[in-house]
Amino acid sequence: MEVVIIESNIILDSHYFKQWYKHTHVANSTKGNYKSVLKRFGEYMMSLGPVRQLNFDKFKYGELDSIYDPINEEFIDNFFEFLIEDGVSHATLYNSIEALKCFFKFLKMVGLIKSNPTAYYPNPYYKLKKVDRAFSKKDADKLLSASIKVEPFFKQFYLLMLLFLTCGLRSQEVCLMKKSQVNLEFQTIEITRGQKTSAGVVSVVDKLREAFEQYFEHPEWLKWSNGQDKEVFFYKGKPLNRSRLVSMLQLIYDEAGIDRKVRVHDLRHTMAQLLFLNGVNEFSIQEQLRHERYALSEL
């Protein structure tokens, strides 16, 4: 007898979705499209860690202050950053915003949530003319200096920022990266975990190699790894996930006096632009980004 495995989804299995799907006044075709978006939203939420019971009013746990917060605009921003890093089209981003607006508006209207995180969320935000979100060389230097001030002894924050600014890795690639992927002899990192497409290799500059060498010899790392091939980055005794990574980076932005909203993907833009301004040829930048083709305007 064939066993059929039904995959669970934290959103689609919730009372929120069931009430919305049953009572929302949108066309069936639109409802089906929106359901796909909500499924993706649920997958994203599950990727952040286990959630025993979904409660939009008391969901987001702040790793740094140990307080539960409701789903808010920042959380929605992080979801769309996740979609952007996954390479979805502008049309998909636009439709995804519309889907979440419809969903949360209904939940607020029937009293299932206390506040609507998408009430003032802009759309077509992602259809506007693309803005250059890369940091300047001056701001990149400020970020590196700030990362040392945030944590001057272990310098994990410094290594993290230097890695982003010189290797252009995506957030999931950084969170899942293990020590065995880092080859300091050949100054390379094998991207074999968390990548969007096939595995690849990025080059490690001298300054990053030196930072890695010091990091892997530090007592904090030796205690964490315990002689095993562990994730390179961790926070409070746990490997990084997207939420912890964003929290760590925000500490650096605050210390550096960066007052605009920053996506993790902006650091990837910055790496490419810094290489371009330093005269690195487009083919080399393409290799470091692991893109089939390269254009600053399409990053």
Per-residue pLDDT of 230-251, as tens digits, reads 999 998 889 999 889 999 999 9
What share of the chain has pLDDT > 70, as a percent?
87
Q: Does residue 5 lie within any of the structural domains?
A: no
Average pLDDT over residues 1-15: 71
Q: What is the mean pLDDT of the chain?
A: 86
Of the ranges 75-89, 195-209, 214-228, the best mean pLDDT one: 214-228
Residue 127 has pLDDT above 50, yes or no: no
Q: What is the CATH number of the domain that holds 91?
A: 1.10.150.130
Sign of the torsion angle spanned by Cα atoms 144, 232, 244, 73: positive
pLDDT of residue 219: 96
pLDDT at 283: 78
Residues 185-192 have a mean pLDDT of 94
Residue 230 lies in a domain: yes
Residue with tokens 């939009």: 56
Are 119 and 163 found together in one domain?
no
159-180, pLDDT tens digit by residue?
Answer: 999 999 999 899 999 999 999 9
For residue 146, CA distances in Å to 141, 149, 165, 214, 270 come to: 9, 5, 14, 19, 17
| Whether the model pTM is above 0.85 | no
Phi first, then psi: give them for residue 169, nearest 5 degrees: -75, 155
Residue 297 has what pLDDT?
43
Give the domain range for residue 26.
15-127
Q: What is the DSSP letter of 131?
A: P
Residue appearing with tokens 């929106």:
34
Mean pLDDT of the region 104-128: 82
Burial 134-167 (b: 16+ CB within 10 A, else e): bbeeeebebbbebbeebbeeebbbbbbbbbbbbb
> Among 78-82, 132-136, 231-235, 292-296, whose mean pLDDT is lowest?
292-296
| Count of structural domains within the chain | 2
CATH of the domain at 237: 1.10.443.10
